[in-house]
């Protein structure tokens, strides 16, 4: 049983645990859930238990089964995409089977943390600030909790504190390259359909993309680019395309970064990085929730098996080839408008759609799905 101990005179509380998890988003909460379910003592330190991450909340259906998540968290099931290349007319892709489940991030993250807590993880609201010198070979972290100092000693640390990771910065690791996004909430009505997710490639933001993901009553609309300067105009152009005035997005306008995967280190000494703090967002589709949860799970598995370094190998075996392929596509996409047009238009072909959607929705499909997708795509695009 863990408890906070402290010297009343100093006002500092102390906590000892085997694994400290910094961040209680999809990566941290999932790591905590699997560690605790396997009897590993762990603490999830989350800066703000009421935090709602700006996010489209789109998660492929296969993830719910694979990670045993309740489908009751899904606010809307979407089984069609509307895709706009930079120059030619938009087209639709209807899924043969499966769907994208749209979740509300505040509720979703909270449910994941509750699942961890139900397994025995200690969840506490507090902010990691920095590392202190190690004590008896244990990692020592300084945090703040309810305005008071908290010192946590642990054997291992999982950094799941997102794209602006303070843990990364404290270890003087290279800053993360990122895609800059500007998003807004719009009501699902009129031109904003609840039937499909919309993607616009290279259309409003040069070398970037825009999206509309419908939720229960509101849709998450946004635009992302590697150059942050033109995001506001790009969002306004997206609204204009939907026949909406710029003021339609004036409320709840939020900017955020999405990390670009560059093969960032997953393990440094006794610190394991999961989710956005390790740049684990799929290039090109910018899907991060599933990969954050799976990274948390694999980090936990490595610790459970008694070899934290195994995390690197587990991730590599499972996901590296997909990430490399999608990074290649992203590079091709970025290079020229003609490249973007050719690549996105390839998805007008029914076989490209079928293999691409299978790869996206069914994450348990093995290397066969990946090679089928590459094979059919090669016929359409030279890269």
Ligand X SMILES: Cc1cc2nc3c(=O)[nH]c(=O)nc-3n(C[C@H](O)[C@H](O)[C@H](O)COP(=O)(O)OP(=O)(O)OC[C@H]3O[C@@H](n4cnc5c(N)ncnc54)[C@H](O)[C@@H]3O)c2cc1C
Tell me which residues touch ligand X (CB under 6 A). 22-28, 45-48, 51, 53-59, 127-128, 160-162, 166, 181, 183, 213, 222, 256, 258, 275-276, 281, 287-290, 292
Residue with smallest beta-carbon separation from ligand X = 288
Specify which residues 219 forms β-bridges with.
Answer: 186, 214
CA-closest candidate to residue 103, choices 258, 298, 293: 293
Closest CB 338 distance from ligand X, rounded Å: 27
- Residues 261, 176 contacting (CB under 8 angstroms): no
Q: How far apart are CA 136 and CA 109, in angstroms?
A: 35
Which residue's CB is nearer to ligand X, number 45 or number 205? 45
Report, in Å, the least distance between residue 199 CB and ligand X.
Answer: 11
β 127-135/178-187 pair status: unpaired
Q: Is 102 or 352 the residue whose CB approaches ligand X more closely? A: 102
Nearest approach in angstroms of CB 24 to ligand X is: 5
Q: Is the dihedral of CA 35, 104, 366, 383 positive or negative?
A: negative
Minimum CB separation of residue 98 from ligand X in Å reads 15
Measured between alpha carbons, how far is 258 from 276 in angstroms, rounded to an integer?
8
Nearer to ligand X, 166 or 339 (CB): 166
- As a whole number of angstroms, the distance between CA 320 and CA 333 comes to 20
Pick from 256, 275, 304: nearest CA to 168: 275
Shortest Å, Cβ 55 to ligand X: 4
* Nearer CB in complex with ligand X: 55/376: 55
Tell me whether residue 43 or residue 376 sits nearer to ligand X (CB atom).
43
Q: Closest separation between CB of residue 135 and ligand X, Å?
A: 21
How many CB atoms are located within 10 Å of the residue 104 CB? 20
Q: Which is nearer to ligand X, 69 or 376 (CB)?
A: 69
CB of 149 to ligand X, least distance (A): 14
Answer whether 163's CB lies under 8 Å from 276's CB. Answer: yes
CB of residue 290 vs ligand X: minimum separation in angstroms?
6
DSSP, residue by residue, 204-247: SSTT-EEEEEE-SSEEEEEEEESSGGGHHHHHHHHHHHTT--GG
Tokens of 153: 């000693």
Q: Nearest 5 degrees, angle CA 276-CA 282-CA 288?
A: 45
- 22 or 43, CB closer to ligand X? 22
What Rg, from alpha-carbon coordinates, does the chain have? 21
Nearest distance from residue 78's CB to ligand X, in Å?
A: 11
The residue behind tokens 């054997």 is 155
Shortest CA distance to 286 belongs to which of 320, 257, 255?
257
128 vs 209, beta carbon nearer ligand X: 128
Among residues 31 and 343, whose Cβ is nearest to ligand X? 31
State CA 209 to chain mean position distance. 17
């Amino acid at each position: 049983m863990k408890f906070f101990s402290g010297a009343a005179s100093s006002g500092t509380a102390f906590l000892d645990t085997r694994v400290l998890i910094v961040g209680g988003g999809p990566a941290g909460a999932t790591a905590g859930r699997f560690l605790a379910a396997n009897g590993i003592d762990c603490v999830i330190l989350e800066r703000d238990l009421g935090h709602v991450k700006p996010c489209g909340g789109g998660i492929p259906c296969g993830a719910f089964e694979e990670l045993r998540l309740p489908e009751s968290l899904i606010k809307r099931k979407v089984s069609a995409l509307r895709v706009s290349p930079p120059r030619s007319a938009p087209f639709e892709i209807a899924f043969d089977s499966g769907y994208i489940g749209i979740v509300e991030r505040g509720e979703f993250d909270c449910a994941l943390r509750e699942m961890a807590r139900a397994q025995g993880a200690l969840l506490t609201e507090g902010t990691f600030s920095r590392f202190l010198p190690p004590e008896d070979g244990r990692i020592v972290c300084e945090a703040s909790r309810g305005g008071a100092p908290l010192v946590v000693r642990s054997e291992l640390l999982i950094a799941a504190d997102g794209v602006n990771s303070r843990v990364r910065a404290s270890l003087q690791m290279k800053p993360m390259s990122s895609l800059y996004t500007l998003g807004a909430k719009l009501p699902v009505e009129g031109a904003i359909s609840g039937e499909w997710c919309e993607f616009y490639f290279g259309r409003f933001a040069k070398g970037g993309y825009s999206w509309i993901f419908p939720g229960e009553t509101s849709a998450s609309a946004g635009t992302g680019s590697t150059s942050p300067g033109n995001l506001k105009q790009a969002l306004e152009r997206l609204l204009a395309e939907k026949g909406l005035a710029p003021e339609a997005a004036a409320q709840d306008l939020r900017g955020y970064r999405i990390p670009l995967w560059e093969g960032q280190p997953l393990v440094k000494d006794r610190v394991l990085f999961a989710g956005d703090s390790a740049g684990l967002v799929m290039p090109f589709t910018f899907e991060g929730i599933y990969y954050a949860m799976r990274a948390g799970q694999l980090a936990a598995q490595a610790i459970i098996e008694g070899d934290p370094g195994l995390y690197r190998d587990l991730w590599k075996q499972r996901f590296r080839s997909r990430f490399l392929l999608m990074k290649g596509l992203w590079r091709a996409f970025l290079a020229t408008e003609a490249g973007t047009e050719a690549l996105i238009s390839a998805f007008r072909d029914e076989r490209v759609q079928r293999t691409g959607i299978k790869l996206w929705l069914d994450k348990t499909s093995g290397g066969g799905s990946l090679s089928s997708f590459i094979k059919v795509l090669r016929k359409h695009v030279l890269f």
